[in-house]
Chains A and B, each alone.
Chain A
């Protein structure tokens, strides 16, 4: 039986990485005593997949994972057992039935939306956004397996908006970035391209968009 959960990952778990989040979910479901289906082999692991890795330090209100149970369970029962066992920093929003032949989560993901709070005052923010979006290419150097690789992140950026409310001191941005398995945009890279230190920003994922 395949199920899909939507949950938030909040500040208490901001610094828990992808693999550790995976393990945290596994343990939550073990505590909840859900009849998990395990992989075969010498080291069985619960069958669980996350839609998209959330970089370390980010929070999110829209994390999505699929998991499999050995036997069918009612959604309210899963919801109740999960919520009773979730650790600080994880909060279940929704659990759904998913057809077992539905495509893999990762393959249908297309975009991700983020809200960003800037901790330092950035002058001329609107201009910076306009300049960024006007660029035809934004080249970024990364080192992969010891080799320098240059990639263009401009095609990964769909939207950057200044969403700073009138009555707050801290500036805010909203971003929509491409999130396909082979091409995933990262808000920290976009901030860097705008000349903003990503370490002085709180980045929060608000939505994952699927085909």
Chain B
């Protein structure tokens, strides 16, 4: 039986009553966009390699869905991974992965775009291709198959996934996705072989075609360099950015079932000026660009009319650093409070989080309160470049408790470079000190939840050189916290060290890791981010079968001048800047917020012209003056 939409619908009618949460698989929600399959030339399937509940909360894909569907010559539909019960039934009934909008098999689309924000989605990505009936390995695909592209934060080091992806978007997708569609259409008209498509794509700013590059290793198995095989391909591949935050997507799909973030997302700021050394997002999303209060309010108004959502998430990496944060929060509660719209303002920074802002937030409903000191001693905070005086944290906590919030969540990381057991014990002491502040104002109702994750060094950050803690070190630190952090009002959450090991090995991996991912998937690895599915032993076996040592990737301190697998991928943050910052961390030297002083991280030299074309406060970087031709009559004296 051919896999036409009607047959897929029929099979679904039979299968859906037999699976958990069937609402994940139906589509048909309010505001989904259904275009005419037969007349639209270019069809794009947008995939998040996780279940619907998580995938529907991915803001990036919602933007791309909107942008592609605005084109009259292209359509975008959604697809997510089935949960294991549905996967089994789909296999049993030969039902391929299909799109939610029109129930077409994913394999019938022209382009499959996959969002891969984090490493534990790698095996899911392979599973997604497998369930779609698309060859997993890029080299095995032909003109008959969709073009498989990916993007997202983890793709700032695309090398571990190099074997599986035809092309990778480095950086921001809004503009480049449209150019990729243009290139695809031109190629399709030309009827040239698939290789020509890949070559054309490699010339687009921000597109990386892994098969057009080759990695070379020395006799010891260390990476020596990466060579491009096609002369016109970029070297390095510089990340794509948009000069200005694109208009907010307001006609959002309203799910019929509960999802992780069931709300209006409005990105108020992209990038971060703080330069915390562990933070990859802060590094790779520069420059900092803000959206105006006015534009944000209009967007919320529109989105409320389209969706009826009860909550707005004002998204950014560091909301309280948004220059108009107080005005914005006040305006949102004034304008929409009557209609019971609650505000979620994630990622508040202790030092820029004012009492006034607390008062403004108090007006709208909000459950817990989260602060992220990341480390508990001032020495550690200097090493990671997140210097906040402990007293300021305690003062802030007291103010929060006194405004009616009973539970403060504190996020910490263990495993920072140079961390000792004293630094870890200080986490417990600090939590207790915060709780004490709460008890002063609201008594025994006060609670502290400590979320303690383990630091994983990431590419394109000043900590890309540092070894990750070993499982023994992590367990010793976690055991210490479990002993110290008990008592009424205290709660501790931590990560499974094995998951940390996997994330660490994958995030700084090279191309040879593709084989490990393939073997792990073959052995049954999927949903690695789910505690009940994750099995590290499969991965250890896969490493052994691929003749690779995970410790080489996780626990080794890299030489300062060592070639990295992602050196040919540029986040526009120069290696010189990162090296400097890494060496500064070893001295405990900090760098303040770069809005106050530019440290020449590399953004302005790379995007000089864009900044010149977009002067003013939209960017937090200093203004760039047009380069004048030197005038021989004047000699510059410095």
What residues make up the interface of A, taking CB atoms closer than 8 Å to B? 12-17, 19-20, 23-24, 26-31, 33, 36, 38, 42-44, 46, 56-57, 85, 87-89, 119, 199
Contact = CB atoms under 8 A, between A and B. Distances in A.
B29 interface: yes
Contact of B308 (A14, A28, A42, A199): A28
Contacts of B309: 27, 30
B313 to A, nearest CB: 16
Contacts of B30: 87-88
6 contacts: A16-B23, A20-B256, A24-B256, A44-B365, A87-B30, A88-B29
Contacts of B23: 15-17, 20
B257 A16 contact: yes
Contacts of B308: 26-31, 85
A88 B26 contact: no
B302 to A, nearest CB: 11
Of A15, A31, A199, chain B has the most CB atoms within 10 Å of the CB of: A15
Interface in B16-58: 16-18, 21-23, 26, 28-30
Contacts of B254: 24, 27, 87
Contact of A199 (B17, B29, B310): B17
B307 A20 contact: no
B129 interface: no
Contact of B307 (A27, A33, A89): A27
Interface residues of B, number: 26
A30 B304 contact: yes
Which A-B residue pairs are the 7 nearest by beta carbons? A27-B308, A30-B308, A87-B30, A15-B23, A15-B22, A31-B308, A16-B256
B256 A89 contact: yes
Nearest to B24: A15
B88 to A, nearest CB: 16
A42 B364 CA distance: 9
A162 to B, nearest CB: 23
B339 A30 contact: yes
A12 B339 CA distance: 28
Contacts of A38: 340
A12 B307 contact: no
A91 to B, nearest CB: 13
Contact of B257 (A17, A30, A44): A17
B462 to A, nearest CB: 42
Contacts of A42: 365
Interface of B: 14, 16-18, 21-23, 26, 28-30, 254, 256-258, 304-310, 339-340, 342, 365
A89 B28 contact: yes
Contacts, number: 69
Contacts of B310: 26-27, 30
Contacts of A85: 308
A57 B22 contact: yes
Contacts of B304: 30-31
Contacts of A23: 258
Interface of A: prevailing SS: mixed
A15 B340 contact: no
B340 A12 contact: no
Given A43-B342, A43-B365, A57-B17, 20 more contacts: A14-B26, A16-B256, A16-B257, A17-B257, A23-B258, A24-B254, A27-B254, A27-B308, A27-B309, A27-B310, A30-B308, A31-B304, A31-B306, A33-B305, A38-B340, A46-B340, A56-B22, A57-B16, A57-B22, A87-B30
Contacts of A27: 254, 307-310
A203 B404 CA distance: 48
A20 B28 contact: no
A19 B256 CA distance: 10
Contacts of A12: 26, 28
Contacts of B16: 15, 57
A123 to B, nearest CB: 21
B82 to A, nearest CB: 14
A20 B18 contact: no
Contacts of B21: 15
A160 to B, nearest CB: 21
A23 B23 CA distance: 14
A126 B254 CA distance: 44
Contacts of A33: 305
A16 B254 CA distance: 12
A30 B263 CA distance: 13
A13 B27 CA distance: 10
Contacts of A89: 28, 256
Of A13, A26, A29, chain B has the most CB atoms within 10 Å of the CB of: A13
A15 B305 contact: no
Contacts of A44: 340, 365
A31 B305 contact: yes
A147 to B, nearest CB: 23
B6 to A, nearest CB: 15
A88 B28 contact: yes
A211 to B, nearest CB: 32
A2 to B, nearest CB: 19
Contacts of B257: 15-17, 20
B18 A87 contact: no
A112 B251 CA distance: 38
A13 B16 CA distance: 13
Contacts of B342: 43
Of A16, A28, A33, chain B has the most CB atoms within 10 Å of the CB of: A16
Nearest to A12: B28
A15 B257 CA distance: 8
A87 B257 CA distance: 13
Given A43-B365, A88-B30, A199-B18, A15 B256 contact: yes
Nearest to B256: A16
A19 B310 CA distance: 15
Contacts of B18: 199
Nearest to A202: B13
A38 B340 CA distance: 8
A36 B564 CA distance: 58
A107 B306 CA distance: 35
A20 B23 CA distance: 10
